[in-house]
Amino acid sequence: MDFDDQLRRYFGTADLATIAPTTLDTGVDRMRVEFGMEQDRGRRFALWTLMYMFGAAPDLDVAFEDEDDRNAARDFMDMMDGANGGL
Task: Express each pLDDT in 17-59 by its tens digit.
Answer: 999 999 999 999 999 999 999 999 999 999 999 999 999 999 9
Please classify residue 10 by burial: count the beta carbons closer than 10 Å to its beta carbon, then call 0-12 exposed, 13-18 middle and 19+ buried.
buried
Q: So what's the pLDDT on residue 81?
A: 87
- Averaged over 14-18, what is the pLDDT? 93
The CA distance from 66 to 53, in Å, is 21
pLDDT at 86: 56
d(CA 71, CA 28): 24
